[in-house]
A and B are shown apart, each in its own frame.
Chain A
Amino acid sequence: MSMSQHEPNLDVSVVVPLLDEQDSLKELRQRIGEAMAGLSYEVIFVDDGSRDESWNIIEGLHGATPQEVKGIRFARNYGKSAALQKGFEAAQGRVVFTMDADLQDDPKELPAMRQQLLDGGLDLVSGWKKKRHDPLSKTIPTKLYNWATRRVSGIQLHDFNCGLKCYRWQVVKAIEVQGEMHRYIPMLSKMAGFDRIGEKVVTHHARPYGTSKFGLERFTNGLLDLMTVGFMGRFGRKPMHFFGLVGMLMFLSSAGLFLAMGGYKLWALQTGQEAKNLADLSWFYVALTGMVLGAQFFLAGFLAEMVSRNDPKRTDYRVMKTLSGQ
């Protein structure tokens, strides 16, 4: 986040990424409006390449209340992370919500979540769909995924993937959501220094319109993304600390194995026992492979450092406050 970023002028921004949700948009907008009574707010619909009438509806809603309804339309489907990122960039509220457009999240939750964020001095409040209206094929992988994410991130949330979340504006301006990292926004926030993360039980309704975009590939992709976020969080700025350590351990242990085998051959010679050539021992090939892999890890570490050093944002540290004499 840039130091020069100005405080937003609205109370609330609600970012709604959507894909083919023509049936629910009007109702969603109306319910958000009811929930935001007394507050200045904006709803940012980000159409992620819908092929139905979603965009026309958004245009209609914008025409009716241009200050409160804004729209961003992608030329094609880029994914939920891209939609959220664009929404975050456009948001002008001091508190920013994200919610799905399928009406499974209830806009009535928004005021209470905002209150929890402000009163608790939190950076992020994540929704927790304690009672879900999803099939088992979705709830079981989700439980597994939440457990793994808790283990990797150290963030004690029950429902990382809940679309309903509430942020301080500084958080959404500081993080970059890309790929399919929208599942790990609490982790990204923590990595950016916003680690006061709370949770609120929210009502989960059955989907009234449309179809779920959940698929098995999202589970596998989620797992891979979790590994990426976990790795980037710990070693993103110092990849050699990971690759170098693994490479060094692998190389040294393999070299040690090689020396031990060599020493054994010399010892066997001195004691008159059969001294086999190391090439006749299977362990020799284990040691050889280990040494080659160790060297490869080292090289990978150097390459990663070079890539990392060329990143223009490498020294973008988030400064909270500065005291100076001027």
Chain B
Amino acid sequence: MNKISVAAPHGVYAALGSFVLMLAVYLIQSEWMVEWWVSLSSTALNLVFMFVACSAFRKAQGTATFGEAWTVSMVASGVAALVGMLLSMVLFFVIDPSLPQLLVDLSMDQSREMMESFGMSGAMVEMQLDEARKQVEAAFTPGGMAKNTVWAMAFWAVLSLVVAAIMKRAPKSEFA
């Protein structure tokens, strides 16, 4: 059973689903794109497709070792991250090139509020924000997005361990 041929389409579906969600949020209210629930929904969607990919593999083969389940889950999430990055680039650099700047500003506003709520002084906040702004702006360049995708894949690799542990299925013993 080819693990990649089972996992890759699910990764594409997850990426498309996340993109549709992001595009809908963008169209309805761009400011919502930095809200926590948007990221959470996208993560949940990826996770669902990782499980579905493992399930499809297990159904086709009848069994799935931990290693096989991890590979399927990882390929699905990796494809989702890569395709998702490409689709995000279309949104940020083709559809609305002014969007990255808006998101940077919104992120900075959120960070400022958080720092002030922690009781940081004004000067300290500004200093921290200058540093943070450079990092956030870098994250919205093609190179920054690629770098983030690599970090995301590391995150998905860890999460795939959990998925694989849940979805593995040992072959039935004939004496069972």
Question: Chain A residues in contact with chain B, CB under 8 A?
Answer: 261-262, 265-266, 269, 275, 277-279, 284
B23 cross-chain contacts in A, Cβ below 8 A: 262
Whole-angstrom distance from the CB of B58 to the nearest CB of chain A?
30
Q: List 21 A-B contacts (CB under 8 A).
A: A261-B27, A262-B23, A262-B24, A262-B27, A265-B27, A266-B27, A266-B95, A269-B95, A269-B96, A275-B96, A277-B27, A277-B28, A277-B29, A277-B30, A277-B31, A278-B27, A278-B28, A278-B29, A279-B28, A279-B29, A284-B28
Whole-angstrom distance from the CB of B37 to the nearest CB of chain A?
15
Q: Which 6 residue pairs of A and B lie closest in terms of their CB atoms, listed nearest first?
A: A262-B27, A279-B29, A278-B28, A277-B29, A279-B28, A278-B27
How distant is the Cα of A279 from the Cα of B96 in the complex, in angstroms? Answer: 18
Nearest to B94 among chain A residues (CB) is A270
How distant is the Cα of A206 from the Cα of B24 in the complex, in angstroms? Answer: 70
Instruction: Give the dominant DSSP class at B's interface.
Output: helix
Nearest to A280 among chain B residues (CB) is B29
Whole-angstrom distance from the CB of B20 to the nearest CB of chain A?
11
Question: Chain B residues in contact with chain A, CB under 8 A?
Answer: 23-24, 27-31, 95-96
A265 cross-chain contacts in B, Cβ below 8 A: 27
A277 cross-chain contacts in B, Cβ below 8 A: 27-31
How distant is the Cα of A284 from the Cα of B27 in the complex, in angstroms? Answer: 11
A269 cross-chain contacts in B, Cβ below 8 A: 95-96
How distant is the Cα of A275 from the Cα of B30 in the complex, in angstroms? Answer: 11
How distant is the Cα of A279 from the Cα of B28 in the complex, in angstroms? Answer: 5
How distant is the Cα of A3 from the Cα of B100 in the complex, in angstroms? Answer: 76
B96 cross-chain contacts in A, Cβ below 8 A: 269, 275
Given contacts A262-B23, A262-B27, A269-B96, list 18 more A-B pairs with CB under 8 A: A261-B27, A262-B24, A265-B27, A266-B27, A266-B95, A269-B95, A275-B96, A277-B27, A277-B28, A277-B29, A277-B30, A277-B31, A278-B27, A278-B28, A278-B29, A279-B28, A279-B29, A284-B28
Whole-angstrom distance from the CB of B112 to the nearest CB of chain A?
23
Whole-angstrom distance from the CB of A271 to the nearest CB of chain B?
13
A275 cross-chain contacts in B, Cβ below 8 A: 96
A262 cross-chain contacts in B, Cβ below 8 A: 23-24, 27
How distant is the Cα of A278 from the Cα of B30 in the complex, in angstroms? Answer: 9
B28 cross-chain contacts in A, Cβ below 8 A: 277-279, 284
Whole-angstrom distance from the CB of A150 to the nearest CB of chain B?
49
Whole-angstrom distance from the CB of B119 to the nearest CB of chain A?
34
Nearest to A259 among chain B residues (CB) is B27
How distant is the Cα of A265 from the Cα of B23 in the complex, in angstroms? Answer: 11
